[in-house]
Structure 1
Amino acid sequence: MDMDRLEIRARLEGVNPSVLTMVLVQLTGDMELLAHYAPMLSKPGEFADTIMPVDLALLYDKLATVLAEPGHKAPVITPEQLHQMMNAFCKEQVSERYLPMLFEDLEFKIDPPAFDRASPAAKTRSKDLKVLIVGAGASGICAGIKLAEAGIAFEIIEQHSDVGGVWHENTYPDCGVDSANHLYCYSFALNHNWSRYYVKQAELKDYLRDCAVDGGVMQHIKFQQEVLRLEYNEPTAMWHCTIRDKAGAVRTEIVTVVIGATGQLNQPSIPPIKGLESFKGTQMHTARWDESYDFTGKNIAMIGTGASGIQAGPPLAKIAAQLTIYQRSAPWALPRHNYKNLVTDNVKWVLAEVPGFARWYRFMLLWAYGDAVHDALIIDPDWDGGTLTISKRNADIRTLWETYIKEELADRPDLLEKAMPDYPPFGKRALRDNDWFTTLKRDNVELHNTGICHIEPDAIIDKDGTRHPTDAIVFATGFHASRMIYPMEVVGKGGQTLRDIWGDDNPRAYLGICVPGFPNLFLTYGPNTNLAHGGSIIFQSECQVHYIIECLANLSEAGDKTMEITQEAHDEYNTVLDDALSKMVWTHQGVTNWYQNKQGRVTTNSPWPLVEYWQMTRRVEPGVFTMKKEQ
């Protein structure tokens, strides 16, 4: 490292000391250092200053000395030592089942890509594959990068003018991630230069575009084109894809494989409210934001207090004459360490320059915000603590979250009943507090939870009969999340469509990826793959893309032309899935959420801990696919 020891030491100050400790141990192999510092480390996610100043100074000194040493070579760390380091870092025994996943994320032991393990014949046959990806969001870009690495021909059809998916479509004020950025990114493309720990929409979209460019994907994307229909041709075992370009011209492309990467959150939902069609003012959904409209000095109605409402509400309140918020149920809005903080130059430097730091920092986030709370979402059938909680662990979390809301609204007891959720933690998506409670206390903000009776040309009438003059309506009302691969028509074997099987809102798939009757069709962010306990949806996308590449390698290895998930494997998986879902908080009595379809079935969420889904998608189980050379 071309920097003297004192300058390096100065750069280390103010950087997470627990992570620095792991880096020092890894670079020196000194397990006595681990034993010394282990009792002082803070638990991942607590971010506490628990190392005494004298020990902290020693840590800085030792690490700076190692980093300044010309040509320093780190010793080989054994799996046993790494496991010991994980146990000390996590302040608990890390289960053996997590080790393969965590080893890979730390780049300690990486599973070779499927086509690196494939035979020369399989690699040759893979050149005959032609893949069409629908959508250039995070999943579509990930699929493109991995197909490019495997040497498989592909193109991406994207209906918008740029990449990004939801991060292109959603541009409402303060739109941003509520997952930590250093986890909400590709494991193979860590970004050391995030400006914040939780960035806003534009920066995340830029990151995705950079990944598409660096991964050689951009030249494969056809923008402002829409896939209207996907039809499987049985005699040729090919997919016929009907595509319309921005000029309105329609063409058909023929491919061997289709990857649907359209996700769950792209069909805005606007509730059917009596009189809405008569409204003369401006109305818009948060996912279809009109940036030309000036909300300054207006009487704004915001309907919905979910993820987009809790972000858009505070900035709107600052410029509105009046912001009237209509709430169906109160959100859990929680504090999160570093939510509004900028990443310091020292941290950026250490992430980029100190070997191993970025990986251990990501490990910390994965452990803290991954499966750590998964057990709190599982219903204890013997629990007798009332309907507002589902288990002892869930009740403990409710106590913490309730305490935070009570502290925030201590000076406004009139708001407390409206703002306190009447359902268990995690029954709906837990959100980050974006100055939400401060906003509710503003003089120009009113929160209503009685419901809307009807809408008039210039006002909203609530169910108490009160008339609220309204210039603009903002629908922060989410999406038709259960309408997947919509509105395109997807026709499989025998002329059967996905809509015939799924109806309007009851999608099912094996691992959320494969559907019987639709050979060589794969989905990302499909049915029951959304995360509602922690982690990152990009983690899920990587798991799914990994599995798809494994499938294509199997197909090429066998010399077959098609693979179709068997009905038996699909049904067995969904039986186990439904059983797991029935024990989760989202199905608890009285809980309603966007995870459920009209029949009350949870169609969007995965009940599995991250590690289980990671394991499920590592390899293709023998016998679950019907493989054919020709039809």
Structure 2
Amino acid sequence: MVSTDVESATLRHHLLQADPGVLLAVLAQMTGDATVLDRYAGKIDHVPDPPEKAGRTDQATAEALADEIVVALREPRRPDAPAADDRELFARLLPVALGTVVDDEHIDLLLEQGGFRPSQPTLPRTTPIPSTTTMAIIGAGIAGIAVALAAAEEGVKFTIFDRNAEVGGTWLTTTYPGIGVDTPSAYYSLSREVNPEWSSYYPIGAEYQAYLVGLADKHDLRQHIRFGAEVEALWWDEQCQQWQIHSRAADGTLSFGYASVVVTAAGYLNRPRFPDVTGRDTFGGISVHSARWDHTLDLTGKRVAIIGAGCTAVQIVDACVDEVEHLTVFQRQPHWVAPRKRLTDEVPEHRRYLGRALPFYAMWHRLKSYWGTADNNYPIILQDPEWSQTHLSISPANDVLLKMCQEYIDRTFGAGTALARKVTPDFAPYGKRIIRDPGGYYCALTRDHVDVEASEPAEVNAAGIVTADGRQIDLDVIIYATGYHLDFLSTVDIRGRDGKTLTEEWGISPRAYRGGTVPGFPNLFITSAPNYSPGHGAGANFSMEVLAHYILECLQLMALRGATTIEVSQRAYEDYVANLDEAMQRTVWCHTPNAHTYYRSESGRVVVATPYRLVDLWQQHRAPIEDDFILR
């Protein structure tokens, strides 16, 4: 509430700098008065502010909006006014705040993604989930936290197992210089816990880790977490109809427990991967993998090589280029790099202030961030067969991105220069994950003390690295920014009915039905499942929340039918995967075979990204299709 003239003046000062489209939506929700749209909507237009659209208006309208919001904060809301999540009102607000027309199929999804409405139960709650149901959640990162909060809401008992001593998953363990979130910070959160305090549009890893720690503390999750417990095996016990959980403590002690339901939330990129290069262990200097950074390492004045050209390497180069004496970047294959769209990534003070002071304001910015990076991007990954016959890009939409990235290369390195050729990919954008320049990566490559080797090292020796063309580069430090093994639970001994193992079922091509379910593995749900990562937009947090909802709906179906186990049928599993693979054939990942990407398994099948729109994925997981499951 605004209680003093000083506070009102401060608020008004910040309101005059804010997006008027967002402010109008906020005002309508605060007051429940839709007539404000009639007064102001026609005076607001929108301009591109990639990846979003920004509202703008004249000074008089901005001042009038600010005055009405200051008054609305003082006055009580009319008791008969429509709720903030009123669907009809919300639908009217969307084009004003987002700057685009929104189809009806998206409205319920956007209510949820903006945090205006929690995920809505789909199946009837006439029969509660039995109090005897126990859930084991493997992993205390964002996925594990999302599932835990959903379970707590339904009264399901749960225990989280995590091998680390704190929550956070990859944001706890991965701490290399410059680490950050390349999904917009306004969106990369849980919809139930919108954070108005991000300092950067793309926050550093420590800030995101602090957000996850705050979630654990706020929701008292620590009492449910077994820290320092690495799950080594999950065995289905047919006699007691439960999963036997084998976990090992840091001191080597092995423990056994049981749960009727298991949800794996450990991710699929956990084990650091080193390149297969001769002599790696003979180097006489310091070697470090980006996933296991040594914070005692001082790069000042050192001759450094970084192996890799993905997001991690880009962030490290950007962070360290001014410290080193000389830097050599070894890239096996270049990525398409998109320029930073703003002069700075720092979130302006007015947005942070209003996020704290103004109801719904941070939620609308979360929604704008989602909308700008979600299904609006979907055409970029779809192949146009006729277009792709004569272009490097796969479609006109894809070509817009390609031209933007090419222009960034030409502007930074000079069109046609040797360095420009080195950093220009020979595949369509999104064939490999797009990288966002944190601000200084491309510029760093032009520095006099930086060299780019367009190949992997031929050999490592005691003094440094031998290049592909036989030159010796003497070094003090080698940084391996070479990613992770694509595991998909292959490091855990998971045995379902009749002792069948998950590794046997999957081989070199992991597959899953909705909810990350697999025939022969009852009551097992995999959040980081094959083909569940949004490849064209939004973030991993989207699929985590979608699956958390779906898992609880599956447990509710079991309760309604009096079942102890739920297991996808072989027919439904095979049909779903076949349809998914057919849809995948239209995407960029199946039309850029020369792009080296972890999205494909050893079999060549795309196993990471989903080929579907996010709204389709959301709709698919509103409730389980009962005929696709065996309930016992």
Deviation, structure 1 residue 338: 5.0
Deviation at 1:383, TM superposition (A): 1.4
CA RMSD of aligned residues (A): 2.2
The correspondence for 1:118, drawn from 125, 143, 147, is 125
Distance 1:394 1:206 in 2: 36
Give the 3-state SS of the residue equivalent to 2:45 in structure 1. helix
Q: Does 1:420 align with 2:424?
A: yes
| CA separation of 1:357 and 1:484: change in aligned 2, threshold 3 A | same
Asked if 1 retains the 8 angstrom alpha-carbon contact of 2:21 and 2:96, the reply is no
Counterpart position of 1:56:
62
Whether the 8 Å CA contact 2:173–2:291 is kept in 1: the answer is yes
Q: Paired residue for 1:400? A: 404
Residue matched to 2:201: 197
Structure 1 stretches (4+) deviating beyond 6 angstroms?
A: none
Aligned equivalents of 1:592, 1:512: Cα separation in 2: 28
Instruction: Compute the displacement of 1:546 (Å).
Output: 0.7
2:39 to 33, 41, 62: 33
How far does the alpha carbon of each residue in 1:379-430 deviate from its partner, in whole angstroms, 9 at most, with x for none?
1112156352001111122112211222222499332111222211111111
- Report the 3-state secondary structure (helix = DSSP H, G, I; strand = E; otherwise coil) of the residue aligned with 1:122: coil
- Cα distance in 1 for residues equivalent to 2:264 and 2:629: 19
Q: Does 1:307 align with 2:311?
A: yes
Q: Secondary structure at the match of 1:372?
A: helix
Secondary structure at 1:235's aligned position in 2? coil
Length, aligned pairs only: 622
Q: Does 1:85 align with 2:93?
A: yes
Is the 1:34–1:85 contact (alpha carbons within 8 Å) kept by the matching residues of 2?
no
Cα deviation code 1:339-359 (max 9, x no counterpart): 843334432221122122122
Contact map agreement 2:16 2:62 (CA 8 A) in 1 = no
Corresponding residue SS for 1:132: strand
What is the TM-score of this pair, normalised by structure 2?
0.93
Deviating more after overlay: 9-18 vs 433-442: 9-18
Task: Verify the 8 A CA contact 2:332 2:456 in the aligned structure 1.
Answer: yes
Pairing 1:412-451 to 2, within 5 Å after superposition:
413-434=417-438, 435-451=440-456
* Cα pair 2:140 2:162 within 8 Å, conserved: yes
Compared CA separation, residues 61 and 413, structure 1 to 2 (3 A):
farther
Give the deviation of 1:171 after TM superposition: 0.4
Paired position in structure 2 for 1:623: 627
CA displacement at 1:230 relative to structure 2: 0.7
List runs of 5+ in structure 2 lacking aligned partners.
none
Find the residue that maps to 2:405 and give its secondary structure: helix
Is 2:484 the counterpart of 1:476?
A: no
8 Å Cα contact 1:66-1:72 kept in structure 2: no
Q: Quick one: structure 1 residues 625 and 271, their matched pair in 2 at CA, closer, same or farther if it must change by over 3 Å?
A: same
**AA matched with 1:354:** L
TM-fit CA distance, 1:70: 5.2
Q: Assess, with a 3 A threshold, how the Cα gap between structure 1 residues 428 and 300 changes in structure 2: closer, same or farther.
A: same
> Post-superposition shift, 1:586?
1.2
Aligned CA distance change for structure 1 residues 114 and 615 (closer, same or farther; 3 Å): closer
Return the alpha-carbon distance in structure 1 between the equivalents of residues 47 and 54 of structure 2.
9
Q: Which of 179, 186, 202 lines up with 2:183 in the alignment?
A: 179
Distance 1:339 1:462, change over 3 A: same
| 1:139-538 correspondence runs (5 A) | 139-337=143-341, 340-384=344-388, 386-410=390-414, 413-434=417-438, 435-481=440-486, 483-503=487-507, 505-511=508-514, 513-538=516-541
Q: Note if contact 2:122-2:622 (Cα within 8 Å) is conserved in structure 1.
A: no
Which whole-Å deviations, capped at 9, do the CAs of 1:492-533 have from their partners, x for residues lacking one?
111111111112x42111125101110011111211111221
Mapped to 2, the partners of 1:567 and 1:60 lie a distance apart of 59
Q: 1:283 deviation in Å?
A: 1.5
Cα deviation code 1:94-124 (max 9, x no counterpart): 1221112112334555554469x422x434x
3-state secondary structure, aligned to 1:399: helix
Local SS of the residue matching 1:480: strand
Contact 1:198 1:339 in 2 (8 A): no
Is the alpha carbon distance of 1:340 and 1:128 closer, same or farther for their aligned partners in structure 2, counting shifts above 3 Å?
A: farther
- Structure 1 position 67 matched with structure 2 position 73: yes
Among candidates 9, 17, 22, match of residue 19 of structure 1: 22
Which segment is superposed worse, 332-341 or 576-585? 332-341
Percent identical among aligned pairs is 31
Q: CA deviation at 1:250?
A: 0.9
Whole-angstrom CA distance in 2 between matches of 1:462 and 1:307:
23
Counterpart Cα distance in 2 of 1:140 and 1:306: 27
Give yes or no for contact 2:115–2:194 (8 Å, CA) kept in 1: no
SS in 2 for 1:375: helix
Which letter does structure 2 place at the counterpart of 1:393?
Answer: A
CA distance in 1, matches of 2:624, 2:388: 42
- Per-residue deviation, residues 44-81 of structure 1 (Å, max 9, x unmatched): 73455742333333332333333344556693276344
Tell me the secondary structure at the aligned position of residue 516 of structure 2.
Answer: coil
1:543–1:46 Cα change, 3 Å: closer
SS at match of 1:548: helix
Change (3 A) 1:46 1:526: closer
Change (3 A) 1:231 1:466: same
Q: By how many angstroms is 1:2 displaced?
A: 2.8
* Counterpart AA for 1:58: A
Which residues of structure 1 form unaligned runs of 5+? Answer: none
Superposition TM-score, scaled by structure 1 size: 0.94
Letter in 2 for 1:270: F
Query: For the residues of structure 1 that align with 2:359 and 2:410, how far apart are their CA atoms?
Result: 43
| Structure 1 residues 140 and 582, CA gap change in structure 2 (3 angstroms) | same
Q: Give the conservation status (yes or no) of the 8 Å contact 2:97–2:364.
A: no
Deviates more, 1:469-478 or 1:47-56: 47-56
**Partners of 2:88 and 2:50 in 1: how far apart?**
21
| Cα deviation, residue 449, structure 1 | 0.5
Corresponding residue of 1:2? 2
Contact 1:543–1:617 (Cα < 8 Å) also in 2: yes
> What is the distance in 1 between the residues matched to 2:453 and 2:47?
45
SS in structure 2 of the partner of residue 611 of structure 1: helix
Deviations 1:222-246 (A, max 9, x none): 1111111111112221111111112
SS of equivalent residue, structure 1 residue 243: strand
Q: Does 1:102 align with 2:105?
A: no
> 1:450 is matched by which residue type in structure 2?
S
- What secondary structure does 2:483 align onto? coil
Check whether the contact 2:338–2:404 (CA below 8 A) recurs between aligned residues. Answer: no
Deviations 1:456-481 (Å, cap 9, x if unpaired)?
A: 12221111111111222111111122
User: Aligned residue for 2:583?
Assistant: 580
Q: Are the equivalent residues in 2 in contact too, given 1:18–1:42 (CA < 8 A)?
A: no
Please give the alpha-carbon distance, in whole angstroms, between the structure 1 residues aligned to 2:341 and 2:137: 37
The answer on whether the counterparts of 2:464 and 2:473 sit within 8 Å (CA) in structure 1 is: yes
